[in-house]
């Protein structure tokens, strides 16, 4: 018998690998079912004119949805507004979270209570917060207009805050930053507490001041955390819908554009094409961001 | 042995997972093992007190019909239509769906409705008892059936402060001239008093408020050939008038909250709103001061949106019969009054016998408004909505209303101060595009 034909018995290691694979197989199937299938289905329907009635046939239209989308000026306007919104909210909420985390990373009285208070805007349901904000800016009895018009006389009449695209953009960015910075705060604070204090002691001995200690000790240590927060927040905010749609109808971002396309116009094929294009854009940005941040951090 | 055992474990886990998925995918409507026919009834009145009333009605119905089981599914109003569309596209349309005319028109366009069964329910109850104008909104595209069975309807119009109008010696706001004069007279923004409030936000309220005035000017959205005529002289004249009125309103995108709050808070003497304003004004003890008008320029006109129950055409014959029985039960005087009294004044009766029924009139809210309630009931004779002419509803109106093209144009012209002719032309083209899809 030739040696190469002989069936070698499975080693213990191989057997364990197979057992491990079989045990995680249900999870793989589950992920394939709930993640991969919708993605593939979404790509498929982006090439169809989809009928609402499942008993009616979907009509294959090839690249038509993609061509319509990429030749629509409105789509580019929406894309630019969304990128500006994402950039502003990611930078501001991460920076604010970092600042507050640095302040809270020291001992003081009622630290626990103060930390809990900071989390309030994050744990309160978005819908409740949106309504509170809308009441604050209400033209008839809102506290903001009352203060600016009736008390301080800074403005003659109450502006329609959420109707002007610039005001609407600023209001939504402020709201989103305020609502979501506690997430950055919480995560960065956890990272700050893992930094070895001997690093600061060594830096002090070397004559490093407060800024130098932050620049050369703190920042490199927490940079992977910041990159993770920024990446996740970027993905979440790119598709942000609820808060923006509830606050104003005047800020054309991708989430709202998608909603209007899929549900108001019932054009599910076009909506699928939008998500495919966005998937490509967002994934490219994520890879770029991670590459830049981690490369910089390694050096 | 070990390998075999691991294979078996993995297969059991995978099988149980798939079995779980399968169980979730099965529908709720159908005949159960004990021979009962089960039908799902989906509506948008998800508030606890309202659901309790429906629970009681369903319980009584099932006691009278032990072979039928009705499962109530209530979805909050905000996400209701999206949820229905999602269910439909997944092939899981409930046996009975309660909703607006625009939703039913959309479902009719998708051929998801048993229009014949709906018509049979209406005819069994007696067509003559229904307000003809309400039924005229519900004719199906096939020209024979009906898109649903009306259970109640809300109607909009002009609500005004009778006491303040009397103080200033003004006529009730019926004609365009009287409306404008009153708006000018009361407008005093420095003291947070606005001449008139109406819907200007990019939402359904802006469109149906505009339809109130467009209808009173004889403007129709489609011509006889089914072409959109949003730039017709009547429509432009209405928009001009609307623009003028907006000068005497609270600036900005106003929706139901702003309008209702302004009226209840005494910040306006007049507003355009649905009959759902009766309860908040009653709660603010303002009921006796409130009057109701149907506006008129070339004709009297109001916008109305019936609450319709429709029967799916995706269910079995047995389920269809059960659905018909249940809707017929909802149309009996006693049960219909129970539904109307969930929010007295808001939903108006669609049957004359119910409108005249002393039991219906017995609700405290309705008593306070006195003769105004008769005016509201009479307004149902002047219903005029975009897309329905001479009892024929254009099949595209549902898609046009859902896409918010008209409300967007209104918001752009009034709130964003964009050029009226240009915006109306854009809206016209967008609607033409929607039709050609």
pTM, two decimal places: 0.80
A236-260 average pLDDT score = 86
In the three-class reduction of DSSP (H, G, I as helix; E, B as strand; rest coil), residue B421 is classed as helix
Q: Per the CB < 8 Å rule, is B6 touching A18?
A: yes
Q: Please check whether residue B302 is in contact with residue B382, taking contact to mean a CB–CB distance below 8 angstroms.
A: yes
Which one is predicted more confidently, B398 or A86?
A: A86
pLDDT at B26: 38
Q: Does B251 touch chain A (CB under 8 A)?
A: yes
Which residues numbered 261-280 in B keep a CB inside 8 Å of some CB on A? 261-262, 265, 267
* Residue B1 pLDDT: 44
Name residues whose C-beta falls within 8 Å of residue B131's C-beta, 6 or more positions apart in sequence. B350, B351, B352, B380, B381, B383
CB spacing of B110 vs A51 below 8 angstroms: yes
Q: B437–A267: do the CB atoms touch at under 8 Å?
A: yes
Decide: helix, strand or coil at residue A253: coil
For helices B233-246 and B420-436, angle between their N-to-C axes, nearest 10 degrees? 130
Q: What is the pLDDT of residue B382?
A: 94
Structure confidence by residue, pLDDT tens digits, A119-159: 888 888 888 899 888 888 888 888 988 898 888 888 887 77
pLDDT at B21 over 80: no
At a CB cut-off of 8 Å and minimum separation 6, what does A219 contact?
A: none
Any B CB within 8 A of A25 CB: yes
- Minimum Cα–Cα distance from B113: chain A residue: A53
ipTM value, please give it.
0.70
Q: What percent of chain A has pLDDT over 90?
A: 20
End-to-end CA distance of chain B: 63
What's the confidence (pLDDT) of residue B66? 93
Q: pLDDT per residue over A39-84, tens digit each?
A: 899 999 899 888 777 777 888 888 988 998 888 888 899 999 999 9
Is the per-residue pLDDT at A168 higher than 70?
Answer: yes
What's the mean pLDDT in A193-200? 88
How do residues B254-308 score in pLDDT, each as one tens digit? 999 999 999 999 999 999 999 999 999 999 999 999 999 999 999 999 999 999 9
Locate A228 and state its tokens.
């993770």
pLDDT higher than 60, residue B2: no
Whether B10 sits inside 8 A of A25 (CB atoms) is yes
Domains along chain A with CATH numbers: 62-298 (1.10.3720.10)
pLDDT band of residue B28 (cuts 50, 70, 90) is very low
pLDDT category of residue A174 using cuts at 50, 70 and 90? very high
Per-residue pLDDT, averaged over B392-416, amounts to: 88
Model confidence at B134, pLDDT cuts 50, 70, 90, reads very high
Contact A186, A121 (CB under 8 A): no
Residue B52 to chain A, least CA–CA distance (Å): 25
* Mean pLDDT calculated for residue range B318-323: 95
Residues A85, A166 contacting (CB under 8 angstroms): no
Measured between CB atoms, which of B3, B252, B399 is closest to A15?
A: B3
Residue ranges and CATH numbers for the domains of chain B are: 30-153+305-369 (3.40.190.10), 156-303+396-436 (3.40.190.10)
Return the residue in A37, A73, A130, A266 with the most chain B beta carbons within 10 A, the one to mutate for interface testing: A266
Q: Kindly identify which residue of chain B lies nearest to residue A265, measuring between CA atoms.
A: B403
> For A150-154, A264-268, B2-6, B211-215, which range has the lowest pLDDT when averaged over its residues?
B2-6
The residue among A154 and B177 whose pLDDT is bigger is B177
CA A21 – CA A16 distance, rounded (Å): 8
Chosen from A41, A131, A263 to mutate, greatest number of chain B CBs within 10 A: A263
Structure tokens at B34: 């004990």
pLDDT at A294: 64
**Is B203 within 8 Å of chain A by CB?**
yes
Q: Report the distance separating Cα A98 and Cα B425, nearest Å.
A: 50
> What tens digit of pLDDT does each residue of A272-292 get?
998 898 888 888 888 887 777
Distance from CA of A269 to the nearest CA of B (A): 12
* Residue B199: per-residue pLDDT: 96
pLDDT, averaged across chain B: 88
**CB-nearest partner of B251 from A33, A138, A139:** A139
B187 touches chain A (CB under 8 A): no
Mean pLDDT of chain A: 85
Tell me the C-alpha distance between B17 and B29, whole Å. 24
Is pLDDT at A189 greater than 50 in this prediction? yes
Chain A closest-CA separation from residue B394 CA (Å) = 17
Residue from A158, A160, A162, A166 whose CB has the most chain B CBs within 10 Å, to mutate: A160
Radius of gyration of the CA atoms of chain B, in A: 24
> At B29, is the pLDDT very low, low, confident or very high (cuts 50, 70, 90)?
very low
Task: Inspect the interface and report whether the beta carbons of B402 and A266 lie closer than 8 Å.
Answer: yes
Is A113 an interface residue toward B (CB < 8 Å)?
no
């Amino acid at each position: 018998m030739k040696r190469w034909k002989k069936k070698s018995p499975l080693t213990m290691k191989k057997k364990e690998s197979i057992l491990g694979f079989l045990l995680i197989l249900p999870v793989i199937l589950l992920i394939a079912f709930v993640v991969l299938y919708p993605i593939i289905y979404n790509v498929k329907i982006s090439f169809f004119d989809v009928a609402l009635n499942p008993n009616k046939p979907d009509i294959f239209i090839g690249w038509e949805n993609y061509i319509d989308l990429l030749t629509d000026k409105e789509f580019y306007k929406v894309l630019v507004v969304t990128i500006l919104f994402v950039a502003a909210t990611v930078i501001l909420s991460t920076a604010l979270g970092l600042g507050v985390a640095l302040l809270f990373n020291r001992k003081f009285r009622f630290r626990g209570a103060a930390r809990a208070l900071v989390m309030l805007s994050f744990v309160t349901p978005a819908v409740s917060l949106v309504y509170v904000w809308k009441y604050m800016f209400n033209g008839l009895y809102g506290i903001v207009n009352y203060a600016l018009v009736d008390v301080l006389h800074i403005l003659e009449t109450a502006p329609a805050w959420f109707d002007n695209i610039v005001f609407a953009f600023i209001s939504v960015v402020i709201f989103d930053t305020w609502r979501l910075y506690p997430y950055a705060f919480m995560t960065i604070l956890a990272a700050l507490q893992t930094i070895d204090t001997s690093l600061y002691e060594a830096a002090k001995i070397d004559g490093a001041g407060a800024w130098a200690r932050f620049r050369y000790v703190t920042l490199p240590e927490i940079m992977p955390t910041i990159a993770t927060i920024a990446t996740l927040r970027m993905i979440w905010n790119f598709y942000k819908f609820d808060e923006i749609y509830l606050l104003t109808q005047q800020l054309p971002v991708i989430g709202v554009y998608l909603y209007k396309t899929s549900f108001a116009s019932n054009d599910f094929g076009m909506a699928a094409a939008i998500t495919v294009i966005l998937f490509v854009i967002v994934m490219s940005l994520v890879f770029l961001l991670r590459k830049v941040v981690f490369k910089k951090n390694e050096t | 042995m070990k390998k075999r055992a691991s294979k078996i474990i993995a297969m059991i886990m995978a099988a149980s997972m798939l079995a779980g998925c399968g169980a979730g995918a099965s529908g709720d409507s159908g005949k159960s093992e004990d021979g009962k026919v089960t039908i799902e009834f989906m509506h948008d009145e998800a508030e606890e007190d309202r659901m309790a009333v429906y629970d009681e009605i369903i319980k009584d119905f099932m006691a009278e019909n032990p072979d039928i089981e009705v499962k109530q599914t209530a979805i909050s109003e905000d996400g209701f239509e999206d949820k229905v569309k999602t269910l439909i596209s997944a092939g899981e349309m409930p046996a009975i769906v309660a909703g607006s005319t625009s939703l039913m028109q959309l479902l009719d366009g998708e051929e998801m409705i048993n229009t014949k069964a709906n018509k049979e329910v209406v005819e069994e109850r007696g067509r003559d008892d229904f307000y003809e104008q309400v039924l005229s909104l519900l004719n199906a595209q096939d020209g024979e059936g009906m898109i649903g069975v009306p259970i109640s309807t809300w109607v909009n119009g002009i609500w005004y402060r009778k006491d303040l109008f009397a103080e200033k010696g003004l006529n009730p706001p019926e004609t365009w001239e009287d409306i404008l004069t009153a708006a000018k007279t009361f407008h005093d923004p420095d003291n947070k008093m606005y001449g008139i409030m109406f819907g200007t936000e990019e939402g359904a309220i802006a469109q149906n408020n505009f339809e109130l005035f467009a209808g009173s000017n004889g403007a129709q959205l489609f011509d006889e050939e089914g072409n959109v005529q949003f730039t017709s002289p009547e429509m432009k004249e209405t928009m001009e008038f609307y623009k003028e009125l907006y000068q005497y309103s609270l600036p900005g995108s106003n929706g139901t909250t702003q309008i209702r709050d302004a009226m209840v808070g005494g910040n306006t003497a007049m507003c355009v709103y649905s009959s759902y304003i009766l309860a908040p004004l009653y709660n603010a003890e303002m009921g006796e001061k409130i009057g109701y008008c149907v506006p008129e320029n070339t004709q009297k006109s109001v916008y109305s949106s019936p609450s319709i129950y429709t029967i799916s055409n995706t269910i079995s014959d047995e389920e269809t019969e059960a659905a018909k029985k249940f809707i017929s039960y909802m149309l009996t005087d006693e049960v219909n009054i129970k539904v109307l009294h969930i929010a007295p004044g808001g939903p108006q009766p669609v049957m004359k016998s119910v409108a005249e029924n002393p039991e219906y009139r017995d609700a405290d809210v309705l008593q306070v408004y006195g003769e105004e309630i008769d005016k509201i009931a009479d307004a149902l004779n002047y219903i005029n909505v975009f897309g329905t002419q001479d009892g024929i509803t254009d099949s595209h109106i549902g898609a046009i209303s859902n896409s918010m093209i008209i409300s967007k144009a209104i918001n752009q012209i009034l709130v964003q101060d964009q050029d009226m002719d240009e915006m109306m032309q854009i809206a016209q083209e967008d609607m033409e595009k929607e039709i050609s899809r």
